[in-house]
Amino acid sequence: MTRDQRLAQAAQTLNCPMDVDIAPGGSYCPVVRDERMLYVSGQLPRLNGVMASLGPISAQPAAGAATLAQAQKAARVSALRALMLLQRTLGSLDSVQRICRMTVYVHCTPDFTQHSEVADGASELLVEVLGDIGLPARSAIGVAQLPKNATVEVEITASAHFAL
């Protein structure tokens, strides 16, 4: 299977159509390409217009709080959107040389400390689709809030085989 076929398969598993609207929700570019580098805007876990997970994740179950499984799925959805944007920019994921860096912002209460486990949801999607070159340098950070009350936001920087 090619990378593009594996992306389509991952999208199907998450019930996300490949032509899903990923329009920017503000004044920014979804992806900036500068020579070999691709800077993908921070992705929220929106799927078919609905946020995959809302609210902070907390150590103890709480009203309005996300569970670890929800947050991991949200990280996966955000990473899927980032790969879809890379594919649309490059034509095919075959042109990706490396996922260089990923920052996973986790909206959490101060008692939550499993940010790495949440971020693994995003890493696993990248490796499933891209193989070894999908495993990024990573930072996982716990933050007070995210746009639209999303549970995670995933920011990816990648390189392509050829410069523009």
Residue ranges binding a second copy (CB under 8 A) = 25-32, 34-37, 39-42, 56, 97-103, 105, 107-117, 119-120, 123-124, 127, 135-149, 153, 155, 157, 159
The CB-of-106 to a second copy minimum distance in angstroms stands at 8
SS3 87: helix
Separation CA 129–CA 4 (nearest Å): 8
Q: What is the CA radius of gyration of the chain?
A: 15
Nearer to a second copy, 18 or 137 (CB): 137
The CB-of-159 to a second copy minimum distance in angstroms stands at 5
The CB-of-6 to a second copy minimum distance in angstroms stands at 17
Query: How many CB atoms neighbour CB 99 within 10 A?
Result: 27
CA distances from 121 to 24, 69, 73, 75, 116 (A): 23, 9, 6, 5, 9
- Residues 141, 115: contact at Cβ < 8 Å? yes
The CB-of-72 to a second copy minimum distance in angstroms stands at 11
Nearer to a second copy, 47 or 160 (CB): 160
The CB-of-23 to a second copy minimum distance in angstroms stands at 12
Nearer to a second copy, 7 or 140 (CB): 140
Nearer to a second copy, 4 or 124 (CB): 124
Query: How many CB atoms neighbour CB 34 within 10 A?
Result: 9
As given in the structure block, the two tokens for residue 32 are 């900036």
